[in-house]
Protein backbone atom coordinates (compact mmCIF):
# COMPACT_ATOMS: atom_id res chain seq x y z
CA UNK A 1 0.00 0.00 0.00
CA UNK A 2 2.91 2.31 0.74
CA UNK A 3 4.31 2.00 -2.78
CA UNK A 4 0.89 2.81 -4.25
CA UNK A 5 0.80 6.19 -2.45
CA UNK A 6 4.35 6.98 -3.54
CA UNK A 7 3.48 6.48 -7.21
CA UNK A 8 0.37 8.72 -7.02
CA UNK A 9 1.84 11.53 -4.96
CA UNK A 10 2.06 14.15 -7.76
CA UNK A 11 -1.08 13.09 -9.61
CA UNK A 12 -3.32 15.80 -8.11
CA UNK A 13 -0.82 18.54 -8.97
CA UNK A 14 -0.67 17.40 -12.60
CA UNK A 15 -4.46 17.22 -12.85
CA UNK A 16 -4.83 20.74 -11.46
CA UNK A 17 -2.14 21.99 -13.87
CA UNK A 18 -4.14 20.60 -16.80
CA UNK A 19 -7.61 21.71 -15.66
CA UNK A 20 -6.87 25.14 -14.11
CA UNK A 21 -6.24 27.04 -17.39
CA UNK A 22 -9.49 25.74 -18.84
CA UNK A 23 -11.40 26.64 -15.69
CA UNK A 24 -9.93 30.16 -15.66
CA UNK A 25 -10.80 30.62 -19.34
CA UNK A 26 -14.42 29.66 -18.64
CA UNK A 27 -14.55 31.91 -15.57
CA UNK A 28 -13.16 34.94 -17.41
CA UNK A 29 -15.42 34.23 -20.39
CA UNK A 30 -18.51 34.22 -18.19
CA UNK A 31 -17.40 37.43 -16.51
CA UNK A 32 -16.77 39.26 -19.79
CA UNK A 33 -20.01 37.99 -21.31
CA UNK A 34 -21.89 39.39 -18.32
CA UNK A 35 -20.15 42.74 -18.65
CA UNK A 36 -20.90 42.86 -22.39
CA UNK A 37 -24.55 41.99 -21.78
CA UNK A 38 -24.85 44.77 -19.18
CA UNK A 39 -23.20 47.27 -21.55
CA UNK A 40 -25.63 46.30 -24.32
CA UNK A 41 -28.56 46.81 -21.95
CA UNK A 42 -27.22 50.25 -21.00
CA UNK A 43 -26.87 51.22 -24.67
CA UNK A 44 -30.41 50.04 -25.39
CA UNK A 45 -31.77 52.05 -22.47
CA UNK A 46 -29.85 55.14 -23.54
CA UNK A 47 -31.13 54.86 -27.13
CA UNK A 48 -34.68 54.41 -25.82
CA UNK A 49 -34.33 57.47 -23.56
CA UNK A 50 -33.01 59.54 -26.45
CA UNK A 51 -35.74 58.41 -28.83
CA UNK A 52 -38.43 59.10 -26.25
CA UNK A 53 -37.08 62.60 -25.71
CA UNK A 54 -36.87 63.17 -29.47
CA UNK A 55 -40.47 62.13 -30.14
CA UNK A 56 -42.13 64.25 -27.46
CA UNK A 57 -40.12 67.36 -28.31
CA UNK A 58 -38.61 68.70 -31.47
CA UNK A 59 -35.78 66.30 -32.33
CA UNK A 60 -33.07 68.64 -31.07
CA UNK A 61 -29.73 66.90 -31.59
CA UNK A 62 -27.94 68.67 -28.73
CA UNK A 63 -30.67 67.93 -26.19
CA UNK A 64 -31.01 64.26 -27.18
CA UNK A 65 -27.23 63.76 -27.32
CA UNK A 66 -26.76 65.28 -23.86
CA UNK A 67 -29.49 63.04 -22.40
CA UNK A 68 -28.04 59.89 -23.99
CA UNK A 69 -24.55 60.84 -22.81
CA UNK A 70 -25.85 61.47 -19.28
CA UNK A 71 -27.48 58.02 -19.13
CA UNK A 72 -24.31 56.28 -20.36
CA UNK A 73 -21.99 58.33 -18.15
CA UNK A 74 -24.07 57.46 -15.08
CA UNK A 75 -23.57 53.77 -15.92
CA UNK A 76 -19.86 54.14 -16.66
CA UNK A 77 -20.03 53.60 -20.44
CA UNK A 78 -17.97 55.81 -22.75
CA UNK A 79 -19.76 56.57 -26.01
CA UNK A 80 -18.11 56.79 -29.41
CA UNK A 81 -21.11 58.28 -31.16
CA UNK A 82 -24.79 59.18 -31.09
CA UNK A 83 -26.75 59.41 -34.34
CA UNK A 84 -30.21 60.97 -34.53
CA UNK A 85 -32.30 60.65 -37.68
CA UNK A 86 -35.16 63.18 -37.53
CA UNK A 87 -38.58 62.40 -39.02
CA UNK A 88 -38.96 62.71 -42.77
CA UNK A 89 -41.78 65.15 -43.61
CA UNK A 90 -42.93 62.86 -46.45
CA UNK A 91 -43.11 59.78 -44.22
CA UNK A 92 -46.62 59.34 -42.76
CA UNK A 93 -45.16 57.40 -39.80
CA UNK A 94 -42.82 60.31 -38.89
CA UNK A 95 -40.22 57.96 -37.37
CA UNK A 96 -37.28 59.16 -35.29
CA UNK A 97 -34.27 56.85 -34.95
CA UNK A 98 -31.57 57.17 -32.30
CA UNK A 99 -28.43 55.02 -32.58
CA UNK A 100 -25.84 54.81 -29.79
CA UNK A 101 -22.31 53.40 -30.32
CA UNK A 102 -19.47 52.46 -27.97
CA UNK A 103 -16.37 50.27 -27.86
CA UNK A 104 -16.48 47.50 -25.26
CA UNK A 105 -13.01 46.87 -23.83
CA UNK A 106 -12.24 43.33 -22.72
CA UNK A 107 -10.60 43.67 -19.30
CA UNK A 108 -9.64 40.10 -18.50
CA UNK A 109 -8.25 39.63 -22.00
CA UNK A 110 -5.10 41.51 -21.02
CA UNK A 111 -4.22 38.55 -18.80
CA UNK A 112 -5.09 35.99 -21.46
CA UNK A 113 -3.22 37.60 -24.33
CA UNK A 114 -4.93 36.79 -27.64
CA UNK A 115 -8.40 37.55 -26.24
CA UNK A 116 -7.70 41.22 -25.55
CA UNK A 117 -9.05 44.15 -27.52
CA UNK A 118 -12.29 46.02 -28.06
CA UNK A 119 -15.64 45.03 -29.51
CA UNK A 120 -17.79 47.68 -31.23
CA UNK A 121 -21.32 47.71 -29.81
CA UNK A 122 -24.40 49.67 -30.82
CA UNK A 123 -28.09 49.94 -30.04
CA UNK A 124 -30.81 51.60 -32.06
CA UNK A 125 -34.36 52.62 -31.26
CA UNK A 126 -37.04 53.85 -33.66
CA UNK A 127 -40.21 55.53 -32.42
CA UNK A 128 -43.02 57.46 -34.04
CA UNK A 129 -42.83 61.24 -33.60
CA UNK A 130 -45.84 62.63 -31.78
CA UNK A 131 -47.36 65.62 -33.51
CA UNK A 132 -48.51 68.50 -31.42
Q: List pLDDT tens digits, range 19-31.
A: 998 898 888 889 9
Q: List pLDDT tens digits, range 68-122.
A: 999 999 999 999 999 999 888 888 888 999 999 999 988 876 666 666 788 899 9
pTM (2 d.p.): 0.81
State which residues form the domain around 123: 2-128
Q: Give the DSSP letter string of the chain.
A: -HHHHHHTTTHHHHHHHHHHHHHHHHHHHHHHHHHHHHHHHHHHHHHHHHHHHHHHS---HHHHHHHHHHHHHHHT--EEEEEEEPPPTT-TT-EEEEEEEEEEEESTHHHHSTT-EEEEEEEEEEEEPPP-
The CATH number of whichever domain residue 27 belongs to comes to 3.30.1300
Q: Give yes or no for residue 2 having a pLDDT over 60.
A: no
- The domain total for the chain is 1
Q: List pLDDT tens digits, range 32-81.
A: 899 999 999 999 999 999 999 998 887 678 899 999 999 999 999 999 99
Predicted pLDDT of residue 60:
74
Q: Give yes or no for residue 3 having a pLDDT over 80.
A: no
Amino acid sequence: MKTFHRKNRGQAVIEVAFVLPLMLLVLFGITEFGRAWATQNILTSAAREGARLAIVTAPDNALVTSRVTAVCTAAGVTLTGVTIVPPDPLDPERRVTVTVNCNFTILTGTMLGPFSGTIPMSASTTMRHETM
